[in-house]
Structures are given as structure tokens and as C-alpha cells.
Structure 1
Amino acid sequence: MPRRKFPSRPALRSPALLAGLLALGACSQDGPPPEPPLPQEALAAVAADPGVPRERLARAVDDLFAAEGIGETRAVVVMHDGEVVAERYAEGFNAETRFTGWSMSKTVTGLVIGMMVADGRLRLDDPAPVARWQRPGDPRGEITLRHLLQMRSGLRHKEAVEPLYTSDEVRMLFLDGRDDMAAWAEAQPLEHEPGSTFAYSTATSVILADIATDTIAPGADADSRQRAMAEFVEARLAVPLGLRSLVGEYDASGTLVGGSHFWATARDWARLGEFLRHGGSVKGAQIVPRRWIEFMRGENPAAPDYGAQMWLNHPSGSDRTVLFPDQAPETVFAAVGHLGQYLIVSPEQRLTVLRVGKTGHEAQPVLREELGDIFALYPSR
């Protein structure tokens, strides 16, 4: 009887066949495929007990460095219950690197103004003490300090417009306004009635810094103005808060570039966020009145997503999106700077997150989503 022949078994060494079998295996498993292992540096950047599952926080932080389309993250610090629970740096940066805050600097300027209001040197609803606005018949004389702080001065300040060299912050910082930025900003005419219209403006924060400097060094020359303001920031803010790295830049007239040019290490920026989370106090010492922090976080009649020199986690009522109202409590607030600088504070979650880096406008939605994932991990009280 002839032996029956059976079909030969395919060689399992075939790459195509192996790929097919693996695909069939993946289709048959329950749920999504397992997550890839974490890089060692990602897990090492997170404390043993960060208040949430350690690996989940490590993955969320790692995404800020590794996700596609997010730009370049240079440093991340996460603080929970006052402790650093995650801290990571990109190659070339470390805990001693000073990072520019860009528009996170506006929040620092807002704190300086708050101290002067608390001292009785300035009044929130008096006409802003800008000499050129006080001439008879000048409608800018109706602009108050409150209007400036809430970005509703009515001045013709056009931020982030095209072409770039026509944008007011570029002209003021780098072109025709650079030697006396406050004079340039204060010279702009009214475009709207003071108090009526929100217009985010770096020039406005420079006006606030100029007012603060004139208050402590009236009539002084450029060097004296710069020295007086640097000493004020050091004595009243940096030393009490333990922000040893905090330093501002000044223009040729001695005016603090308060809308964009404070520098600090990542940890010191995060400490500033914790100071805000605690309502302006450090270890029980009230450095800035709690009511002033509440004002900075409070309602703005011209913009639901902005307080006073800080952003709020509220829908804007327009196409503007700065934070992530759907991913975190509405009590979240933030200092936000150009190219994706974020100092985000959530009092309900006892959480502060600092991210600095370089992310273009088109990639900001992806960056916000990744930042929101960290806040989604932590429960509210």
C-alpha cells in the first residue's frame, strides 16, 4: 500500500508568516495591547510615593518629553502636597539652569503691584499714575490700575499679529520701542473705552512694571531705577519665597521688562506656583495679602478665562483656548508663557506643575492635552 502524502508544514522561519501569526495573536487578545516598558530615566524621575500610581505619573511626564508633535520639553517639575514628586530635565538642562518665563513673568509683575497696593503706595481703582495720561482732555486718564491688571485698558496694543515685525510685543521688545519700552507702550492711543474690552498685551505688563518702578524710585535715572526695582524684587519676593535664582531683565531706561523677562530655575518657578496655591503665604507668613491672590484668580468682566495677570481654567466664550477646562477643576489657574511655558496650579488637588520648553503655537493643543493628563491622575479634595 503506497504511503499517503500529507502537505508539508510551512517553515516557521518565514518572516511574512511570523508577522501574520503575531497579528492574529494580537487580534485575539482581550483589551488593548500592553504598554511598552518605561525608560529607566522616566521612572527614576518620579518619587517612590507621588500620591498616585508611580508608573502612571512617570508615563504622563515621559509623554511630555517623548510624544510626537509636542515640540521640545526642557524641564518638568510636579509638586503635590508641597513636595516635589517628579522632576525631569532634557539633555543640556539641569536643576541649576535658569529658564525664561516669557509671559509667566506677568504673574510676577502682578505680585509686585499687589505688594505696593498693600503698602498703600498704589490704589486699584484710582487713575493709573502715568504722567502723560494725566494731561487735560486725555481720555487715557480714565484707565485704572485694575483695567491694566485685567488686560482691559482699551489701549491699541496688538499682540501676536502678522507679519510678526508689526506685532506690538515684537516692536516694543526688539525694534523701535526697545530702549524705552514703557514710553512706547504708554504712547499708544485708545482703541476702546477703558474697561470695556479684553486685549492680552505684553506692553500692558510693561506699563505696570514702569508704574511700580516710578513708585519706588520717582524721578531717578536709569541705573537707579533698575537698582531700586531689583532690590525690591529681591527683598520682598525672592528672599521670602526662597527663590534664589529669580532675576529680571531691564531696558536701557531702567524699566523692568515685566511682561516677559523674568528668569528662574524650574524648581523656583514651581515654588512660585506653590506660593500662589497657598494664597500668598510661605510657612504661615503672609507675603502678599490673600485677598490680592483671590483678585488675581478672580472674575474679569471682560474675559472669563483671565483674572489679573493669570489665566483661569474657564471656557473663554470664544475660540481662544489656553488651559484645559474639560480635564481639570475650574479652580485651576496658571501663568502661561510664549512657546509653551506653563506654571499650572490646582488648589483642589494640592498640585503644581511646571513645564518649560519650546513649542510652537500649532502644537499647543497637543501639549495642553498631555499636561491635562497629569491633572487627570490626581483626585480633588
Structure 2
Amino acid sequence: MMGSINSKSRLCASAMLIILLMLSAVGLRGHAWSRPPATYVTLKGGEGVSRVALAKAVEPLFDARKVGTTQALLVMQGGKLIVERYGEGIGPETKLLSRGIGKTVTAALVGLMVSDGRLALDTPVPVEAWSQPGDPRGTITLRNLLQMTSGLEHRKEAGRPQESDTVRMLYTDGAQDMAAFAEAKPIADPPGSHFLYSTGDTLIIADLMTRMLTDSKRPDARRDAMMEFVRGRLMAPVGLDSLTPEFDARGTMIGGAMMHMTARDYARFGEFLRHRGRVNGHQVLSARWVGFMTTPSPRNPAYGGQLWLNREGRDNPLFPGRGSKRIFAAVGQQGQYLLVAPGQGLVVLRLGLTHGEDRTEALRDALARLVELFPSA
């Protein structure tokens, strides 16, 4: 059944994630070094790539000692599934947490609203907390939020992980009304002047979208309005049957971090972006909007509109200098990657749990090697 998962399930999922963040080094090591038995559902050679070469490139992505635990790996070439492999206890019907990949799904929904005329990129965002005369936050635009240049203060690193703004917003004192927590932050830099990756910016966008759909302040009405839009405008046309967003207590979609889909639906969403918003000959999302999402932003050429780009730039989790600059990706914490290489007709999905700089770097290298196998289309 589509829709928001119940509050008990959401709290359980959230608790699991924060426990992972706060576990001791011993606990993390015990989890990451276990090597679950994995099964190939599909493994066959693609255009210009043999089955043997593909198997050799896939295997390192399931080496838990080097890259952590891989829960799912899918590769599509030219729209055909050529690799599908899962970790222990996970299969094609398992819904997996998006983490930051959800930001890109949210951006697609924003594009639909922009096409409808409900939202505009360069109009100041109407937020009540920013409405006082002279408040510099009143000049923040939707473009600023999408490109992570809102200028709002965002504490990424604190003395303890649980004190970071993202953890506070998602799990502790901000969890009841996540958008309000993000909107209450003061200005640290003039809007549009500085790149700072912030899940809070995406939560502000999610609240804005909801307010464009309903005037109601009732959480259930807000959830219902958003889910009706998500089902009718994205899930049904694209075929994302398993897409299940979570919502906070106020009824705001947690679009920056907490959506769930099967691995196949994540890959299907990647195909949707590879085709620039087109499905079965029908333009669901404006190609111009996908172009905006995949265009380098002024303050960080490695970031577009809620998407990472394979270019030199700040904090880039991809592999600039290897592979095409046209490669883009939705990326989430702990090693979630939905990579799209348009020039190779390629979509690569990796979901899992990767902790530590060494394993993160090994994961990026393994993904780069996999992508480099495939010739340009």
C-alpha cells in the first residue's frame, strides 16, 4: 500500500539510522566486516562488456572489508538490466532507505510544480518566519535552496554527531517540525553567495510544496495532499510503485533523507532522468528542468539542482577526472549512489552501509572502475 509508513515504523527506521551514526567503532567494525552471502539474480554481458569483465568489476563492490556492506547493486545499460545483486536478507521486493537520494526525487517533484506555475525559481520563498521587514532570509529563492546556497547556518560537524543540525532536525529537538527547525536558522552568508550542503534546505522545499497544495495545517491533510500529488504526477507515470516517503509529525515530507523504494524502482528513476524526464514517449518532467538539475551551479560546479555532477568542485562524492563530465548522481550518506552516465546509456545503483574515509574512497574507486568498463554509446 502506497503512502506514508506509519509513525511506529518511521520511528523504528529513524532509530536504526541514528544508532548506526552513534555506534562505537567496535560496533561499526563488526557490522561492516561481515560479508553477507549475495546472489546474482542477473549478470550478463552488456554492449562492449563481457560477462567475465563485468563480474570482475562487480565483485569488489561486495567486499565488505574494503567498501562496507552492499545491500543492492543494479546496473542498467540502454534500459536493460544487466546486473542485479543483493545482500543477505534483501531482494527485489525489499524497500530500501533513500537517505540523500531522496533530495533528487524531491527536485523532480519541484520541477513538476514549476511547470504547473505553482512555484518559480527566482521568486523569494514565502516563509512566515522570514517575513519581517529587513530579514535577509526573505530574499532566499527556490534556486538558492535547490543549489544549496541559501546562506542559512547549518552545523555539519559538532563535538558529537548527535549535536549536528541534521541529526537534531531528523531525530531530536527538530523532529516534530523539521522545516520549522531549518527555517529558524539565522543567515550565515548572503543568499546565493556560498555553497553549503544541507538537508535542511530540502526540508524547507518540501514544506513549501505542501503549502502550494493545501492551506490546511492538519498533519493528515498535509500528508494526503502531498501523497496525492506524488502518486498522480510521479509514481504512476514513471512506474515507481514502491515509492514510500516518510513524513514528520507536522505532515511534511522528509524529502531530504527518508524515502523508501525497491532497488528496481530507484534504477527506474535513474532511467527516467537519463531520458530527461521522458517515459514511453511521454514527457512527464520538463527536459529543461532536468537540464537545470544537471547544470553546474555558480557556487559549486560539482553540484546542480539537488544532484551531484562529475566535475571538480567542493565536497564532491563522485570521481571527477575519471569518466565523463556528463555523469551525474543522486548520493546519500553512508554510500548510497544512483549514478547516471548518459553518454554510455548507463544507470548504476549501489545501496548499502559504508563508514570511514578508507572504505568510502574504495567504494568510489570501485564505482568508477565499473563505469569505466562501458564504452560511450
TM-score tier, shorter chain, comes to 0.7 to 0.9
After superposition, what is the alpha-carbon deviation per residue over 1:319-357, rounded to whole angstroms, capped at 9, x for unaligned? x34101232101000000011000000000000000000
After superposing on structure 2, the runs of 4+ consecutive aligned residues of structure 1 that deviate more than 4 Å are 40-44, 48-51
Does 2:265 correspond to 1:287?
no
Alignment of 1:218-257 (within 5 A): 218-257=215-254
Does 2:185 correspond to 1:188?
yes
Residue 57 of structure 1: how far off its partner (Å): 0.6
Deviates more, 1:231-240 or 1:126-135: 126-135
After superposition, what is the alpha-carbon deviation per residue over 1:122-177, rounded to whole angstroms, capped at 9, x for unaligned? 11100012122122121111100000000000000122444212211000000100
Residue 313 of structure 1: how far off its partner (Å): 0.2
Aligned length: 340
C-alpha distance in structure 2 between counterparts of 1:125 and 1:143, whole Å: 9
Change (3 A) 1:185 1:140: same
Give the structure-2-normalised TM-score.
Answer: 0.87
Residue in 2 aligned with 1:301?
Answer: 298
**SS state at 1:102 partner:** coil
Alignment of 1:264-275 (within 5 A): 264-275=261-272
After superposition, what is the alpha-carbon deviation per residue over 1:159-216, rounded to whole angstroms, capped at 9, x for unaligned? 2444212211000000100000011110111000000000000111000000000110
C-alpha distance in structure 2 between counterparts of 1:217 and 1:144, whole Å: 21
C-alpha distance in structure 2 between counterparts of 1:298 and 1:327, whole Å: 18
Residue in 2 aligned with 1:372?
Answer: 368
Counterpart among 331, 334, 350 of residue 326 in structure 2 = 331
Change (3 A) 1:41 1:184: closer
Change (3 A) 1:83 1:51: farther
Deviates more, 1:241-250 or 1:54-63: 54-63
Does 2:156 correspond to 1:159?
yes
After superposition, what is the alpha-carbon deviation per residue over 1:191-243, rounded to whole angstroms, capped at 9, x for unaligned? 00000000000111000000000110123311100111111111110111111
Give the structure-1-normalised TM-score.
Answer: 0.86
C-alpha distance in structure 1 between counterparts of 2:105 and 2:302, whole Å: 19
C-alpha distance in structure 1 between counterparts of 2:114 and 2:98, whole Å: 24
C-alpha distance in structure 2 between counterparts of 1:43 and 1:166, whole Å: 41
Does 2:310 correspond to 1:313?
yes
Alignment of 1:10-25 (within 5 A): none
Deviates more, 1:103-112 or 1:40-49: 40-49
**SS state at 2:100 partner:** helix
Residue 68 of structure 1: how far off its partner (Å): 3.1
Structure 1: stretches of 5+ with no match in the other structure: 1-39
Residue in 2 aligned with 1:144?
Answer: 141
C-alpha distance in structure 1 between counterparts of 2:59 and 2:158, whole Å: 33
C-alpha distance in structure 2 between counterparts of 1:162 and 1:124, whole Å: 36
C-alpha distance in structure 2 between counterparts of 1:340 and 1:114, whole Å: 26
Deviates more, 1:146-155 or 1:216-225: 216-225
Verify the 8 A CA contact 1:50 1:86 in the aligned structure 2.
no
C-alpha distance in structure 2 between counterparts of 1:228 and 1:67, whole Å: 42
Verify the 8 A CA contact 2:144 2:150 in the aligned structure 1.
yes
1:92 aligned partner, one-letter code? G
Verify the 8 A CA contact 1:76 1:87 in the aligned structure 2.
yes
Change (3 A) 1:85 1:52: same
Residue 48 of structure 1: how far off its partner (Å): 5.1
C-alpha distance in structure 1 between counterparts of 2:370 and 2:63, whole Å: 15
Larger Rg, first or second structure (1 or 2) = 1
**SS state at 1:184 partner:** helix
Residue 248 of structure 1: how far off its partner (Å): 0.1
C-alpha distance in structure 1 between counterparts of 2:295 and 2:186, whole Å: 28
Counterpart among 71, 74, 79 of residue 77 in structure 1 = 74
C-alpha distance in structure 1 between counterparts of 2:102 and 2:156, whole Å: 16
2:338 aligned partner, one-letter code? L
Verify the 8 A CA contact 2:45 2:54 in the aligned structure 1.
no
Root mean square deviation of aligned Cα: 1.5
Residue 284 of structure 1: how far off its partner (Å): 1.3
Change (3 A) 1:67 1:221: closer
Residue in 2 aligned with 1:114?
Answer: 111
C-alpha distance in structure 2 between counterparts of 1:177 and 1:95, whole Å: 34
Change (3 A) 1:160 1:347: farther
Change (3 A) 1:129 1:361: farther
Does 2:326 correspond to 1:346?
no
Change (3 A) 1:193 1:349: same
Residue in 2 aligned with 1:356?
Answer: 351
